[in-house]
Amino acid sequence: MSTFPGIGDPVPDIALETPEGGTVRVSDFAGKKLVLFFYPKDDTPGCTTENQDFTALADEFAAAGVVLLGISKDSPARHSKFIAKYGLKAPLASDVAEGGLSDALGIWAEKQNYGRSYMGMVRTTLLVDADGRIAQVWSKVKVKGHAAEVLAAAKAL
């Protein structure tokens, strides 16, 4: 596992799969502010709420010149179903490859639940500036009020 990058560090430019069958990279958003929100699993209560909260504020993020991108290890097909089921507006990307973006950032990490250890996505959000550098990090995110907090920080950037 690599060390988590800090404020001012560039985000690794690793390709992620889109539900439409293409790829997306941080460099695709050069010159724009970007919110990368990493979450554990599609169609689970906390992750659904987080995606719905970002969807509810999607127009405000767009008006502020900020691009949203939700990332999990779910497959592109699962993302497509998740987007359709909830009418999500924030684009989603799949980080399924070994050594992918969440691995490079240290967000795919060992977790524990009820005494059991397993690898999982640590709910984390990165605010990335127009130069592709990390401007702010939210780690081990609590979903309630998070999207609004990220919007306020993005507007201030």
Reported as a single tens digit per residue, the pLDDT across 63-94 is: 999 999 999 999 999 999 999 999 999 999 99
Give catalytic residue positions: 47
Out of 86-95, 105-114, 140-149, which region has the weakest mean confidence (pLDDT)? 105-114
Gyration radius from the chain CA atoms: 14
Strand order in the sheet with 23-24: 23-24, 16-17, 92-94, 66-72, 33-38, 124-128, 134-139
CB 50 within 8 A of CB 80: no
Reported as a single tens digit per residue, the pLDDT across 3-41 is: 567 899 999 999 999 999 999 999 999 999 999 999 999
CB 110 within 8 A of CB 70: no
CB 100 within 8 A of CB 65: no
